[in-house]
Chains A and B, each alone.
Chain A
Amino acid sequence: MTARPDIAVVGAGPAGMAAAVAAAEAGAHVMVFDEQPGPGGQIYRAIETPGPAGDAVLGADYAAGRGLSRAFRDSGAEYLPGATVWQVSPDREVGVSVDGRARIIKAGAVIVAGGALERPFPIPGWTLPGVMTAGAAQIALKASGLAAADAVFAGTGPLLYLIVDQYLKAGVPVRAVLETTPWSAYLGALPRLPGALLRAGKLRQGLGYIRAIRDAGVPVIRGVSGLAVAGDGRAERVAYTHGGHRHEIAAEHVFVHQGVVPNVNLTRSIGCRHDWDPAQACWRVATDAWGATDVAGIFAAGDGAHVGGAEAARLGGQLAALGALCTIGRIDAAVRNNRGAPIQHALAWELRPRPFLDALYRPAAADRVPAGDDVVVCRCEEVTAGEVRATAALGCLGPNQLKSFCRAGMGPCQGRLCALTVTELLAEATGRPPDAVGDFRRRPPVKPLRLAELAALEPDDTDGGDAGP
């Protein structure tokens, strides 16, 4: 592992695997780093080692990942599972820890394919044990065959229905689905429906889940607002407003979800430019058609760059590989363009339903920016919405000042679970648009690094020179 790769890929989900396959096919020396013990990312989590939940429960879309993981295994790309990337420098040095040992690996180009994470869902009680994301419920099911009976699922977005459907296929009873999609979202999405209808199959799939859930007798309550979880040291009940009245359901497990957003910590810490995406209400790294960021040799692909789902991520990974191969001189621009054209065409087709889905599943403003002052915003440092508002009233304009004032965003998650909330809270409090408010600066290490590992990092672990020709 002392060799310097032509291309380093961070993440072995659909984008990272596809990028690695495409780059290795072109003869490049590729190294792939991923934190999990096996390839697949979160969408194809544990694809090689399924637990008790088989394809019958997890569905055909999940099973489709097996082909890609096989191609990835056969590609010749050097794959390091259990590898935590804690830094990528602007000059393409990858800081990574494997088996408790840190090292620095310099690459000719770096493709960041770190995937998405679930949008923060800051409601009263969201920090109580027993409240988890719907994605977490799905990971427990995929990786360990674990499910919690009689849980309440709350929120909005396709994943919410998918996991409920998987629970039901596994024979696990679900207490209720509380849908927070605001009625206005249906109206907002309507004009975008024609574009999406070109991919009617995708939409039908979603409708199928909803029908199956209703057929199973699970109450699906739509237009819910004011979600709150309460309990003594753990989740015991969920309250919500529906039809103008407050209601309450007992539940020990509450799985919340309101869409996924790019995990920008690594691209931010590299110093890449990011823009506010008003449609998805999140930050995304700015790239060209090949995934190239504004930092030379740094590419981004997949849901970590722009949320579009697994197939779009796979195609985006291929494009980033072509871009990276061109940058390091493996292929020229003409070859890149030739090979890339059909992939770009397929990607455009794949993204056809996105504007409709983005509009439909855009979470209500009240679910993104908590109205109550006592709702925890920063889970790590236990900072509430009220404290953020009070700091804004003191004249704090941006997230980085906020950090120094009240520690929001300074914990180990480095803003992953609060940055979007903070930006939108400050935007609301200061009457400025989110892109003017800005985002937390993210600092290396993007994942905590044991001091002992850092101390053991000797100068000769750092390969000098340049892998590019």
Chain B
Amino acid sequence: MFTEIATDPGAPTVTIVFEGREIATRAGATVAAALLAAGELHFRDTPVGAERRGPYCLMGVCFDCLVEIDGEPNRQACMATVRDGMRVERQRGAAGIGP
């Protein structure tokens, strides 16, 4: 799995919640980096074949790292920055229509 090549104990951290699991991560990290560092590779299930997908390009072009962030679907995890208390869910199939 992805791990930090050097740790900086003094660096500020934030906590996000992914599928109900609390994940502590470096402030300023992208959601994708936070999930990868927590060992997560499965970010979404595709709408057509219900296949598992995860980040492929990490630069915003492949749209395979789509997650739901604080209720908003279709967010690119590699382009979103973590915020303390952020709730992230896998995007399962087509985006839900929300509350």
Contact = CB atoms under 8 A, between A and B. Distances in A.
Given A49-B28, A52-B5, A131 B46 contact: no
A53 B52 contact: no
A234 B52 contact: yes
Contact of A140 (B8, B42, B58): B58
Interface stretch (A70-78, A122-130, A338-346, A355-363): A122-130
B59 A140 contact: no
Interface in B18-59: 26, 28-30, 33, 36-37, 41-43, 46, 48-49, 51-59
Interface string A367-395: 00000000000011110000000000000
A130 B43 CA distance: 11
A386 to B, nearest CB: 14
A172 interface: yes
B6 A52 contact: yes
B86 interface: no
Given A129-B42, A263-B61, A136 B56 contact: yes
Interface in B53-78: 53-64, 66, 74
A132 B56 contact: yes
Given A146-B36, A147-B2, A417 B26 contact: no
B17 interface: no
A42 interface: yes
Contacts, number: 120
B33 A412 contact: no
A14 to B, nearest CB: 15
A35 to B, nearest CB: 6
A382 B6 CA distance: 38
Contacts of B1: 148, 252
Given A144-B30, A379-B64, A382-B49, A139 B59 contact: yes
A104 interface: no
B14 interface: no
Given A127-B51, A127-B64, A143-B30, A148 B2 contact: yes
For the complex, would chain B's binding face be called helix, strand, loop or mixed by DSSP majority? loop
A128 B61 CA distance: 17
Nearest to B8: A52
A328 interface: no
A417 B55 CA distance: 13
B52 A233 contact: yes
A416 B61 contact: yes
Interface string A220-261: 000000000000011000000000000000001100000000
B57 A145 contact: no
Contacts of B59: 42, 117, 135-136, 139
A286 interface: no
Contact of A35 (B53, B57, B60, B74): B60
A127 B36 contact: no
Contacts of B51: 127, 382
Contacts of A444: none
Contacts of A149: 3
Contacts of A131: 56
A141 interface: yes
A412 B64 CA distance: 10
B81 A411 contact: no
A170 B81 contact: no
Nearest to B5: A170
Interface in A161-194: 170-172
A208 interface: no
A278 interface: no
Nearest to A45: B59
A417 B5 contact: no
Contacts of B36: 140, 146
A16 to B, nearest CB: 15
Given A127-B51, A233-B52, A146 B57 contact: no
Contacts of B26: 51, 144
Contacts of B30: 143-144
A253 B5 CA distance: 16
B57 A118 contact: yes
A381 B52 contact: no
Contacts of A417: 56-57, 61-62
Interface of A: 35, 37, 42, 49, 51-53, 57, 117-118, 127-133, 135-136, 139-141, 143-149, 170-172, 233-234, 252-253, 263, 379-382, 411-413, 416-417, 447-448
5 contacts: A131-B56, A145-B4, A148-B3, A379-B64, A447-B60
